[in-house]
Amino acid sequence: MITRKNYETYVLDYLEGTLSEDLKKAFENFLNQNPDIREEIESLCDMPSITPQQESFPGKHRLKASTIKGLTYTEELIIAELENIATPEQRQELKYIINNDPQIKNLRLEYQHTKLQPPDITYPYKNYLKHKVISLPVIIKNAVAYAALVILLIAITTFLRHPDRQIATSLELRPGIEQTFLLTPADLAPMPRLNRPVIVKHNKQNTSHHSNKQTVTTTRDTISSPQQTAQIVDRIKPKSFSVQVPITHTIIIHNNQEKTKFYHTLADLGTKTKKKFSTWLEERGIKITRREFMIKIKNRSYGISVAGK
Amino acid sequence: MVSPGQYNEAVDKYADGLYRFALKLCGDRDDAQDLVQDAFEKLWKNRKKVDSQKIKSYLFTIVYHKFIDNYRKKSFQASLEETGLDPSYTDSYSDVKEVLQKAIDRLPPAQKSVILLRDWEGYSYKEIEQITGLNENQVKVYIFRARKFLRDFIKDPKILI
């Protein structure tokens, strides 16, 4: 029997629909007889239901660990985005973090500054690196001209290689014969504003005593006025040194700026020859810097090339 | 196989970038020029073996390894001598670019190389992996750490002195 005294025990089950059919009918009859209680129960039905709030922990990203030692999780996300390797989920997460944490926005901005821009630097010796390209049709077309040129070159080479002949542009060494050369300061002077390498020539002498040597210096450009030479010599003041070269290569001394012109010539030498030449320089107290073909005298660099057998 | 024409084209196309890279790595113009010359010399000598599609990475690979070799030799020599801090690092900095340049110079060689290849040459992680011989994860870690270092340096150059 449902009465005004005990009806409350049935209210909740009635509202949730868990009453048995008999009790449900009995409870509805009771409500019909007591309209004030019906009104009270109906007002309960209009109450909003209580659902769990959608709360999230604001600093989750600070708790997460980075896969890279020394970086925070957020930094890893920012760099991944900058590097264009972030997954869609990572981008979404970063967006969320930035929206909720203004400091991260600044951090992201700082990282964007680490993107490097290449400076405007050009390599100055491109032309020296290039090799001649001759196409086959051109060769065929000019076959006669080339043949004539080859004959001419052979003739010139034969003429220049004659033992009694001095090659005007280089210091030449005879195979198997120990020869002595005296290099004077003037020989080593850097040549200003020349558009091709200046190569010095020396007369060969078989005596080892310096004072008896005759040194003849010629250059292919005119810097040889006594005043100009004196100025240059005075500026660099390198020690004269004599060289005794029992190897069979031509030695060319040129200033630092010209070294690339000889580069391929040197590169063609075998390792043994290079080593032999390096040893030869070291034995004479000549400091070899950077590459085998550089020597340093009084803190100025000069190039040395070894060419041709 | 690289033809002489392709070789010369490579000189025009890549010598500048290669020189920039070498110069930033070693910080010396003569050394950088030598590195570039070495790379092209090697390319010329091996032109019959080199894939013409991979000339650029071939050149950067040579420069990178040559630099690392030289660096190791120099480090060994330097470790035998006492070295002091460069006083220029205590100077005040006027703009971000300037600070960034200083910061790059202070990166360890491997990190410096990978970040230059990435930002200056636009290489992918995979390509950097091939050039440097590092694995892809190492490349990623080096780039991320380099960025962290640069960012910290930009923020406060003096904290790293």
Average pLDDT value for residue range A285-304: 44
Which residues neighbour B3 within 8 Å (Cβ) at sequence distance 6 or greater? A133, B47, B52
Tell whether the model's pLDDT for residue B159 goes beyond 90: no
pLDDT of residue A220: 30
pLDDT higher for A251 or A85? A85
Sign of CA dihedral B82, B87, B93, B97: negative
pLDDT of residue A134: 62
Name every chain B residue with its beta carbon within 8 A of the beta carbon of A110: 151, 154-155
> For testing the chain A interface, which of B142, B144, B154 should be mutated: the one with the most A CBs within 10 Å?
B144
Tell whether the model's pLDDT for residue A269 goes beyond 60: no
Name every chain A residue with its beta carbon within 8 A of the beta carbon of B63: none
CATH of B1-83, one of 2.30.30, 1.10.1740, 1.10.3470, 1.25.40: 1.10.1740
A252 neighbors A199 (Cβ within 8 angstroms) = yes
Q: Do A71 and B144 touch (CB under 8 A)?
A: yes
In terms of Cβ atoms closer than 10 Å to its own Cβ (0-12, 13-18, 19+), residue A172 is buried
B154 neighbors A113 (Cβ within 8 angstroms) = yes
- At residue B133 the predicted structure's pLDDT band, cuts being 50, 70 and 90, is very high
pLDDT of residue A160: 57
Tell whether the model's pLDDT for residue B91 goes beyond 50: no
Provide the Cα torsion B11, B16, B19, B21; round to 10°: -120
Q: Do A117 and B119 touch (CB under 8 A)?
A: yes
pLDDT of residue B142: 95
Mind listing the pLDDT tens digit for each residue in B52-71?
A: 888 999 999 999 998 888 77
Q: What is the ipTM of this complex?
A: 0.76
Alpha-helix runs per DSSP H in A64-172: 73-82, 88-100, 102-112, 126-129, 136-141, 143-160
- Grouping H, G, I as helix, E, B as strand and the rest as coil, residue B37 is helix
Mean pLDDT of chain A: 62
Mind listing the pLDDT tens digit for each residue in A8-37?
A: 888 888 888 888 888 888 988 998 889 888
Distance of CA A44 to the CA centre of its chain: 76
pLDDT higher for B81 or B11? B11
pLDDT of residue A226: 43
pLDDT of residue A303: 47
pLDDT of residue B127: 92
Average pLDDT value for residue range A230-251: 37
Mind listing the pLDDT tens digit for each residue in A197-221?
A: 333 333 333 333 333 333 333 333 3
Name every chain B residue with its beta carbon within 8 A of the beta carbon of A82: 147
pLDDT of residue A230: 45
Tell whether the model's pLDDT for residue B16 goes beyond 80: yes
- For residue B85, give Cα distances in angstroms to A41, B24, B70, B149, B157: 84, 19, 21, 18, 14
Distance of CA B24 to the CA centre of its chain: 6
pLDDT of residue B135: 92
- At residue A88 the predicted structure's pLDDT band, cuts being 50, 70 and 90, is very high
CATH of domain B85-156: 1.10.10.10
Mean pLDDT of chain B: 82
Most confident of A132-141, A201-210, B75-84: A132-141
pLDDT above 70 covers a percentage of chain A that reads 42
With CA atoms as reference, the chain B residue closest to A260 would be B37
Name every chain A residue with its beta carbon within 8 A of the beta carbon of B41: 263-264, 267
With CA atoms as reference, the chain B residue closest to A127 would be B11
Q: Do B8 and A83 touch (CB under 8 A)?
A: no
pLDDT above 90 covers a percentage of chain A that reads 6
Count of residues for chain A?
Answer: 309
Tell whether the model's pLDDT for residue A3 goes beyond 90: no
- At residue A305 the predicted structure's pLDDT band, cuts being 50, 70 and 90, is very low
A239 neighbors A187 (Cβ within 8 angstroms) = no
Q: What residue spans define the domains of chain B?
A: 1-83, 85-156
| H/E stretch holding B23 | helix B4-26
Phi then psi dihedrals of residue A251, to 5 deg? -110, 130
pLDDT above 90 covers a percentage of chain B that reads 32
pLDDT of residue A49: 64
Name every chain A residue with its beta carbon within 8 A of the beta carbon of B146: 114
Mind listing the pLDDT tens digit for each residue in B98-131?
A: 788 888 988 999 999 999 999 999 999 999 999 9
pLDDT higher for B66 or A141? B66
Mind listing the pLDDT tens digit for each residue in B144-153?
A: 999 999 998 8
pLDDT of residue B78: 55
Phi then psi dihedrals of residue B103, to 5 deg? -65, -40
Mind listing the pLDDT tens digit for each residue in A50-70?
A: 666 666 676 777 777 888 888
Q: What is the CA radius of gyration of chain B?
A: 17
Tell whether the model's pLDDT for residue A189 goes beyond 60: no
Tell whether the model's pLDDT for residue A109 goes beyond 50: yes
